[in-house]
Amino acid sequence: MAKLYYEKDADPALIQGRKVAVLGYGSQGHAHALNLAESGVDVRVGLRAGSPSAAKAEEAGLRVLPTAEACAEADLVMMLLPDPRQKEVFEADVAPHLREGDALFFAHGFNVRFGQITPPAGVDVAMVAPKGPGHLVRRTYVEGGGVPALVAVAQDATGKAHALALSYAHGIGATRAGVLETTFAEETETDLFGEQVVLCGGLTALVQAGYETLVDAGYQPESAYFECLHELKLIVDLMYEQGISGMRYSISDTAEYGDLTRGPRVIDDRVRGTMREILEEIRSGRFAEEWIAENEAGRPRFEALRRAGREHPIERIGSELRAMMPFISAGRQRLEDVSG
């Protein structure tokens, strides 16, 4: 049975009684630091010397310290650095300042699940992982809502790790939306699977393949773009608000019949087999090994693939069409403003 926690289940005083260091001021970092500060928590942001984010954090009214100093002051450290950088920063700047009874928090279980970071005994190790981008963690909090989150405890040294994690989740607004109890392994494996197979990898490959199929068959790239990419938001918004059945209620019967009969032919048994293979690569640690090695090598393959993605024809046609729809980029501007 899944356990879900809401506002009444958390004690805000626990996190308000701690000295919190938020390491990193990117997507998640800015949202956690600002939400916690506005929830009455004593927050400092830890950044490396010369970080371009320092000025932004200071402008937003936060105290900024070099990473090691922030950790020395703090009794709770939240790791919001890019996952591949965390091991190095943990060893140099975090571990030397962890005292018995301190807490080490993560927003994703990668480094603990795959053995990159092994926190010392005597320290609480927990995760508060928002299930949404940092910009939404910030925006929904400001609007009085929140983004759902997962909580997990990997090491309970004080007997209070779980209550502390819920209190932290309350401080960033997550208990307003719902906080689901999980484990580091479940969060890490399902997060990687979701982004690889459905949310990012599966979706972008589906959009590009649909676009290419139409263009190769002689249709206008503009038509292919509107059909395979632009309309996606409408469909996803309906699914987000009302589930798949609610979305199907809003589309035509012709669309719904095509969905029900053709969808399973696109995502057929071969594709499901590939999904299971990808899940196995995650669970066995092979994906983690590959990604860590790629980072150690200076990310040559990642950068080449990134470049190729940016050069896909759908990007050029898309930027021309979006330039004619300034209301779309107005939405984007708003996200950037909120991120400070």
Six-digit token string for 282: 């995650």
Is 48 annotated as contributing to ligand binding?
Answer: yes
Separation CA 80–CA 71 (nearest Å): 13
CB 173 to ligand NAD: min, Å: 14
What is the rounded distance in angstroms from the CA atom of residue 84 to the CA atom of residue 288? Answer: 10
- 200 three-class SS: coil
**Does 191 belong to an annotated binding site?**
yes
Residue 133 CB, shortest distance to ligand NAD, in Å, is: 4
Q: Of residues 297-316, which lie at the interface with ligand NAD (CB under 6 A)? A: none
108 given a catalytic annotation: yes
Q: Is 124 in the site for Mg ion (CB under 5 A)?
A: no
Q: Name residue 173's amino acid.
A: G
Does 167 count as an annotated binding residue? no
Q: Measured from the CB atom, is 6 or 226 closer to Mg ion? A: 226
Report which residue type is found at 53. Answer: S
At its nearest, how many Å lie between ligand NAD and the CB of residue 31? 8
As to burial, measured by CB atoms within 10 angstroms (0-12 exposed, 13-18 middle, 19+ buried), residue 112 is buried
Among 85, 51, 47, which residue's Cα sits nearest to residue 67?
47
| 27 contributes a contact to ligand NAD by CB under 6 A | yes
Among Mg ion, ligand NAD, none, partner that 97 touches (CB below 5 to 8 angstroms by kind):
Mg ion
The yes or no reply on residue 191 touching Mg ion (CB under 5 A) is yes
Q: Of 4-12, 23-31, 167-175, 303-311, which part binds ligand NAD (CB under 6 A)?
A: 23-31
The minimum distance between CB 298 and ligand NAD, in angstroms, equals 15
The correct pick among 18, 97, 113, 176 for binding Mg ion (CB under 5 A) is 97
Quote the tokens at residue 84.
């591949």
- The answer to the question of residue 18 lying near Mg ion (CB under 5 A) is no
Has 227 been labeled as part of a binding site? yes
Residue of 97, 108, 135, 170 marked active site:
108
Alpha-carbon torsion (112, 87, 106, 93), positive or negative:
positive
Q: Is 243 annotated as a binding residue?
A: no
28 scored as a contact of ligand NAD (CB under 6 A): yes
Q: Residue 293: how many CA atoms within 13 Å on its side-chain side?
A: 7
Q: Which residue is nearest to ligand NAD (CB)?
A: 26
Which of Mg ion, ligand NAD, none has residue 43 at its interface (CB below 5 to 8 Å by kind)?
none
Q: Is 252 annotated as a binding residue?
A: yes
* Region label for 182, one of left (φ > 0), alpha (ψ between -120 and 50) or beta (otherwise): beta
Instruction: List Cβ neighbours of 103 (8 Å cut-off, separation of 6 or more).
Output: 18, 75, 76, 77, 123, 124, 125, 126, 158, 161, 164
Task: Tell me the residue type at 113.
Answer: R
Q: Which residue number, 103 or 247, has a Cβ lying nearer to ligand NAD?
A: 103
Query: Could you tell me the two tokens for 136?
Result: 């939404």
Closest-CA residue to 162 (of 154, 150, 153, 173)? 153
Is 223 known to sit in a ligand binding site? no
DSSP-derived secondary structure letter, 94: I
Distance CA 77, CA 57 (A): 17
Site for ligand NAD in 43-82 (CB under 6 A): 47-48, 51, 53, 67, 80-82
- Does residue number 26 form part of the binding site for ligand NAD (CB under 6 A)? yes
Q: Using CB under 6 A, which of 41, 107, 128, 179 touches ligand NAD? A: 107
Distance CA 13, CA 112 (A): 27
Q: Within positions 122 to 181, which residues make up the interface with ligand NAD, using CB under 6 A?
A: 129-130, 133-134
Q: How many CB atoms lie within 10 A of CB 56?
A: 17
- Annotated binding site for substrate: which residue ranges? 252
Q: What are the residue numbers of the active site?
A: 108
What is the contact surface with Mg ion in residues (CB under 5 A)? 97, 191, 195
- Annotated binding site: which residue ranges? 25-28, 48, 51, 53, 134, 191, 195, 227, 231, 252
